C-alpha cells in the first residue's frame, strides 16, 4: 500500500514538474492565456504550489503590460516594457529567469527595429550583456561608437566586453583610449583588467596611460589628433612625449629625440627614471 502511494506521489510530482515547465515556456512565448490555464491545472492538484502561483502572477502582469504597450508609440512602449520588467520581482528559479531572458530579448529586438540604442539609463549593449550575448554587445557598442567615438562610458563598456571575450589586446586599446580622452570619468572599480586598476590606484587615471606603456600594459599609439586634450591633460602630454621619443627617426632627428627625453626628465622625473631603465635594458 505504501509503495503504491509512493508511486502515485512520484507520478504526481513528475506531472507537476512537467506542467510547470510547460507553463513557463508557454509564458515565455507570450501566450498569456494558455500559460495561465496550465498553471491553474497545477493549482487544482496542489493549491499550495508557489511556482504556479508566481507564473499566474507574471502572466497577468505582463499580459496587461503588453496590452498597454500596444496603445503607445514604439519607443515609449519599449521603455515602458523595460521599466515593467525591472519593476517585477522575478524569483531565482529556472522558470522566472527563463521568462526574464525572453522579455529582455524582446526589448532588444523591438529596439533594434527602430534603431534605439539607449533605453532609459542603459543601452542595448547592457541588455545583451545581461543575457550573456557578449558578441552582440560588442557589435552594438562598436556601431554606436562610430557616431560618437569619444564617449568614455561606451569605450569602457566595450573594453570590458572584449576583456570577457578574451580579446585582451583590443580591450586594452579601448581602456587606453578612454583614459587618454577623459581620465576623470574612468572609474577604476569597473575595469576588468586588474593590472590597469593597480596602475590607476598607484599613479591616478591621468598618468595611467604613460605608466601603462612603461609596464607593458598599453601600446603606444599616435595621439596627434588629441591636440586640445594634450594641452590640458598632463598624463596625455606625458604619453605623447613617450610616443614621440619612441617613434622619431633616430638617424635624421637625434637632436629632437634627446630634447624630448630631456623634456620628460624635466616634467616627469619619476616617469623618466623608469623610462631610462627601459632604454638601458634595450641598450639605446
Residue 6: its pLDDT value, please? 54
DSSP 267-281: H-HHHHHHHHHHHHH
Torsion sign, CA atoms 255, 256, 262, 265: negative
Instruction: Give the Cβ contact number of residue 195 at 10 Å.
Output: 15
For residue 98, give the nearest of 27, 50, 41 by alpha carbon.
Answer: 27
Q: Residue 238 — left, alpha, or beta (φ > 0 → left; ψ -120 to 50 → alpha)?
A: alpha
Per-residue b or e along 124-133, where b marks 16 or more CB atoms closer than 10 Å to that residue's CB? bbbbbbebeb
State the pTM of this model: 0.87
Q: Please give the mean pLDDT across all residues of the chain.
A: 93
Which residues make beta-bridge pairs with 119? 122
d(CA 166, CA 172): 11
Helix axes 194-214, 234-247, angle to 10 degrees: 50
d(CA 159, CA 195): 14
Q: Burial level of 21, CB count in 10 A (0-12/13-18/19+)?
A: middle
Taking residues 12-32, report their average pLDDT: 91
Contact, 105 vs 85, CB < 8 A? no
d(CA 75, CA 54): 29
Structure confidence by residue, pLDDT tens digits, 34-48: 999 999 999 998 888
Residue 268: its pLDDT value, please? 97
Query: CA torsion 72→74→78→79, rounded to 10°?
Result: -70
Residue 168 Cα distances to 158, 173, 207, 277, angstroms: 11, 9, 21, 26
Q: Residue 204 — left, alpha, or beta (φ > 0 → left; ψ -120 to 50 → alpha)?
A: left
d(CA 125, CA 227): 31
Residue 70 is classified by DSSP as: T
Helix (H, G, I), strand (E, B) or coil at 123: strand
d(CA 103, CA 109): 10
Instruction: Give the Cβ contact number of residue 278 at 10 Å.
Output: 15
Structure confidence by residue, pLDDT tens digits, 100-149: 999 999 999 999 999 999 998 899 999 999 999 999 999 999 999 999 99
Structure confidence by residue, pLDDT tens digits, 142-197: 999 999 999 999 999 999 999 999 999 999 999 999 999 999 999 999 999 999 99
Residue 97: its pLDDT value, please? 96
Amino acid at each position: 500500500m505504501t509503495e503504491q502511494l509512493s508511486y502515485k506521489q512520484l507520478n504526481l510530482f513528475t506531472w507537476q514538474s512537467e506542467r510547470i515547465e510547460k507553463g513557463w515556456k508557454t509564458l515565455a512565448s507570450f501566450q498569456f492565456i494558455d500559460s495561465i490555464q496550465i498553471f491553474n491545472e497545477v493549482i487544482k492538484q496542489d493549491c499550495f504550489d508557489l511556482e504556479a502561483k508566481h507564473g499566474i502572477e507574471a502572466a497577468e502582469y505582463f499580459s496587461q503590460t503588453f496590452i498597454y504597450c500596444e496603445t503607445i508609440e514604439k519607443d515609449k512602449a519599449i521603455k515602458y516594457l523595460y521599466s515593467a520588467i525591472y519593476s517585477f520581482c522575478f524569483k531565482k528559479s529556472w522558470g522566472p529567469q527563463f521568462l526574464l531572458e525572453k522579455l529582455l530579448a524582446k526589448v532588444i529586438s523591438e529596439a533594434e527595429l527602430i534603431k534605439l540604442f539607449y533605453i532609459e539609463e542603459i543601452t542595448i549593449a547592457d541588455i545583451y550583456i545581461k543575457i550573456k550575448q557578449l558578441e552582440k554587445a560588442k557589435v552594438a557598442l562598436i556601431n554606436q561608437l562610430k557616431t560618437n567615438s569619444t564617449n568614455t562610458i561606451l569605450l569602457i563598456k566595450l573594453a570590458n566586453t572584449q576583456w570577457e571575450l578574451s580579446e585582451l589586446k583590443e580591450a586594452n586599446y579601448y581602456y587606453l583610449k578612454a583614459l587618454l580622452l577623459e581620465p576623470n570619468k574612468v572609474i577604476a572599480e569597473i575595469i576588468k583588467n586588474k593590472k590597469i586598476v593597480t596602475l590607476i590606484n598607484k599613479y591616478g587615471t591621468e598618468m595611467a596611460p604613460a605608466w601603462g606603456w612603461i609596464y607593458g600594459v598599453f601600446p603606444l599609439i599616435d595621439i596627434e589628433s588629441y591636440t586640445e586634450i594634450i594641452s590640458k591633460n598632463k598624463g596625455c602630454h606625458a604619453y605623447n612625449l613617450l610616443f614621440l621619443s619612441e617613434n622619431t627617426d633616430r638617424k635624421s632627428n637625434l637632436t629632437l629625440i634627446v630634447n624630448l627625453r630631456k623634456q620628460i626628465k624635466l616634467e616627469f622625473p619619476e616617469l623618466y627614471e623608469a623610462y631610462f631603465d627601459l632604454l638601458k635594458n634595450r641598450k639605446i
